[in-house]
A and B are shown apart, each in its own frame.
Chain A
């Protein structure tokens, strides 16, 4: 099922942000895209999801995605949780947001998926009838992830889920995202918070000025020096 990305470019109008990005992620792998603010992480994930214009080859499980719309990619197994959980519909209730995610599943599988989401995120059943926009940041992030995995994607793209969340909430978020390993999906996590990323990464790549300038096993991120290096944009020495 792996994700293959080759020579990916991404641009806003004439401004090219990513030029020639290539990487792969194996089944069930958690890949962290690490980079400072403005490195092009969100642009890269947007180009993968189809919300940012771009070129190059994107393949999921051998199926090629280029020249397809964001909507088609969503149907082909790609799910993006954008920065600021902008996949949520804030005037709709928690339950309605979930239903919109569930509707892409075959009808027979929806109830079971809903039940498992509710047990994974108990807060969502407690707040089912509340407007999504009124949830706290942490709760919104849980809902945003729940909505994205509700349609059982094969690749989940998470854009800075740690942003603006308190440390206690981050612990819970790490638990939740780690639990996604059981589902076996590929997770691409864009982060500048290397401590948070270190707790989830199987492997990381460092993005800088729209290019991949380094990579390594996730365990390396626990080593603070190296992570700081990565963020200060010096490629690690290998």
Chain B
């Protein structure tokens, strides 16, 4: 039992990284980027094809490039006044396109590149050291995001654009730029999450949408407002996933995030477009 919980927390930390840009974008643009999981996938795929540290850089860059495409789509849709649901649909399309490209180039092979060959033994529990690295990086990224939102001029502008877009225009805040920047941050964070997964549990071309769903569920489970809640949401999703994997069939496990999303969409929990980063 405790082993499942710990394994879940370790996986969940990465889900927190996926949830983070979801909640940021929802706050600043009132929309959802369903391609977040695809950024993780493309980063992992590219990283396996380039040797060494350069592979990590190439992976993140490819994820950034993919999110730049999304930012372009967003800007075009926004210019024609087609926001919200259109953007979400377009990101769905982009996600499928990226998965297809990965399937085309890399085939159905799983992407996994364990960093450590030996597990750590802590109090009788076997833990992958990479898991601890993942947790540290997640916590670090959440702290960094929190700092960025609270203490920098850019963060203030993001929160202002989220709270009051018209007021932001009146204050000469480049709202569209802030929103596109948030999508790019999604590419960066999604790509990093993909690399962490590559070096721990691994993933294949089918992972993009399920990672998106997990990130989405993690982003809203405790309310979509703040970075810290995203991390806790990710941890919660990780634990739920690990427990259900341990005590039920794999089918149930894979259904949980999508079932969760269905409930959220049906109950309209996502209704209020609140601000990001106001409180931890």
- The chain A residues found within 8 Å of chain B, CB to CB, are 49-51, 69-72, 74-75, 79-80, 82, 86-92, 96, 99-101, 103-104, 131, 147, 151
Contact = CB atoms under 8 A, between A and B. Distances in A.
Contacts of B175: 71
Interface string B137-170: 0000000000000000100110110011011111
A211 B228 CA distance: 52
B166 A86 contact: yes
A90 B170 contact: no
B156 A51 contact: no
B158 to A, nearest CB: 11
Interface residues of B, number: 19
Given A96-B156, A99-B156, A100-B156, A90 B164 contact: yes
A88 B164 contact: yes
14 contacts: A49-B170, A51-B166, A69-B169, A70-B169, A71-B174, A74-B169, A74-B170, A74-B171, A79-B170, A88-B164, A92-B156, A100-B156, A101-B171, A104-B172
A95 B112 CA distance: 48
B278 interface: yes
Contacts of A131: 278
A86 B163 contact: no
A147 B278 contact: no
Top 8 A-B pairs, shortest CB-CB distance:
A74-B172, A91-B275, A70-B169, A89-B163, A89-B160, A91-B278, A87-B167, A71-B172
Contacts of A89: 159-160, 163-164, 167-168
Contacts of B166: 51, 82, 86
Contacts of B156: 92, 96, 99-100
B173 interface: yes
Given A89-B159, A99-B156, 11 more contacts: A71-B172, A74-B169, A74-B171, A87-B170, A88-B164, A89-B160, A90-B164, A91-B278, A96-B159, A100-B160, A103-B153
B143 to A, nearest CB: 20
Contacts of B170: 49, 51, 70, 74, 79-80, 82, 87
Contact of A86 (B164, B172, B275): B164
A126 B156 CA distance: 21
- Best-buried of A87, A88, A89 by chain B (most CB within 10 Å): A89
A147 to B, nearest CB: 7
B163 A100 contact: no
Contact of B172 (A75, A82, A90, A96): A75
Residue from A71, A86, A90, A101 having most chain B Cβ neighbours under 10 A: A71
A175 to B, nearest CB: 25
Contacts of A49: 170
Contacts of A96: 156, 159
Contacts of A71: 169, 172-175
Contacts of B160: 89, 92, 100
A92 B163 contact: yes
A49 B174 CA distance: 16
Contacts of A50: 169
Contacts of B159: 89, 91-92, 96
A88 B171 CA distance: 9
Contacts of A70: 169-170
A139 B170 CA distance: 20
A165 B37 CA distance: 50
A140 B123 CA distance: 57
A36 B20 CA distance: 48
A100 B278 contact: no
B169 A99 contact: no
Contacts of B174: 71
B173 A100 contact: yes
Contacts of A99: 153, 156
A51 B275 CA distance: 22
A131 B278 CA distance: 10
A131 B156 CA distance: 13
A155 to B, nearest CB: 13
Contacts of A91: 159, 163, 275, 278
Contacts of A75: 172
A71 B157 CA distance: 13
Contacts of A72: 172
Contacts of A101: 171
Contacts of A151: 172
